[in-house]
């Protein structure tokens, strides 16, 4: 069973998410919280696999709570999926920096919600094309870091794969683009994560844009 904690300041939203997740045989909601501080306490008590985290809440917001939850133990297996409304949230890069692994629009279809939980519980990042475009827009407004120095630890092939990750491609899609197997892509991604000391694939997307490896104007 995939153990989930729901964090949102609106009781109706929490109730709706619980009902949708409850229809899956492999997902169990083990706790709820209405603010960031409560979220940290609930997560410590229940030890979930996945936290569905609202960004905008009174008091301690979702980004701060995510940072506290994931910073408590660098080796934690907990994954955070940020609940957002892309029309108003400009915090995608901040959420990635805090360690969020997935992003989900609050009015997503029920099966998309359940799929997102399963994807991040399996250790993958949930980055839709919409999220990738949002990262591009945020990166265009953010100060760039010195990509030459940061990316110097990567081989030419690893930089090539990082660029494709930044564009939102899956391992299978990258393999088709570069004529290599998905297993080989996965091996390269693992090495890139280690070399850049990145937490997960979502963090790699942000790095690809912040270093200029992928121009924000790319499609």
Query: Residues 38-58: pLDDT tens digits?
Result: 999 999 999 999 999 998 888
* CATH, domain 2-126, list 3.40.47.10, 3.30.1200.10, 2.60.40.1930, 3.40.50.2300: 3.40.50.2300
pLDDT of residue 129 exceeding 90: no
Domain 144-210: which CATH number of 1.20.1250.20, 1.10.10.10, 1.10.3720.10, 3.40.50.300: 1.10.10.10
Which has the closest alpha carbon to 194: 160, 143, 153, 138?
Answer: 153
Work out the percent of the chain whose per-residue pLDDT is above 70.
84
Q: Where in the chain is the domain with CATH 1.10.10.10?
A: 144-210
Range of lowest pLDDT (29-33, 134-138, 160-164) = 134-138
Stretch(es) of the chain classified as CATH 3.40.50.2300: 2-126
- Tell me the per-residue pLDDT of 72-119, one tens digit each, with 9 for 90 and over: 665 578 999 988 775 444 677 778 778 888 888 777 888 889 988 998
Could you tell me if 65 and 36 are in contact, meaning their C-beta atoms sit under 8 angstroms apart?
yes
Rounded CA gap, 89 and 35, in Å? 18
């Amino acid at each position: 069973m995939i153990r989930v904690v729901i964090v949102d300041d609106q009781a109706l939203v929490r109730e709706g998410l619980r009902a949708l997740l409850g229809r899956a045989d492999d997902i169990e909601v083990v706790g709820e919280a209405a603010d960031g501080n409560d979220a940290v306490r609930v997560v410590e008590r229940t030890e979930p696999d996945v936290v569905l985290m609202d960004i905008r809440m009174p008091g301690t917001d979702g980004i701060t709570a995510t940072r506290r939850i994931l910073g408590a133990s660098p080796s934690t297996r907990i994954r955070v999926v940020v609940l957002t409304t892309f029309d108003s949230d400009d915090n995608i890069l901040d959420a990635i920096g805090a360690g969020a692994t997935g992003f989900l629009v609050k009015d997503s279809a029920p099966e998309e919600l359940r799929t997102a939980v399963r994807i991040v519980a399996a250790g993958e990042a949930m980055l839709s094309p919409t999220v990738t475009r949002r990262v591009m827009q945020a990166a265009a407004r953010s100060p760039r870091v010195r990509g030459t120095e940061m990316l110097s630890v990567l081989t030419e092939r690893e930089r090539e794969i990082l660029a494709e990750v930044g564009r939102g491609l899956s391992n299978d899609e990258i393999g088709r683009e570069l004529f290599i197997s998905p297993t080989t892509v996965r091996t390269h991604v693992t090495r890139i994560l280690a070399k850049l000391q990145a937490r997960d694939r979502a963090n790699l997307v942000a790095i690809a844009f912040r270093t200029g490896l992928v121009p924000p104007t790319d499609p």
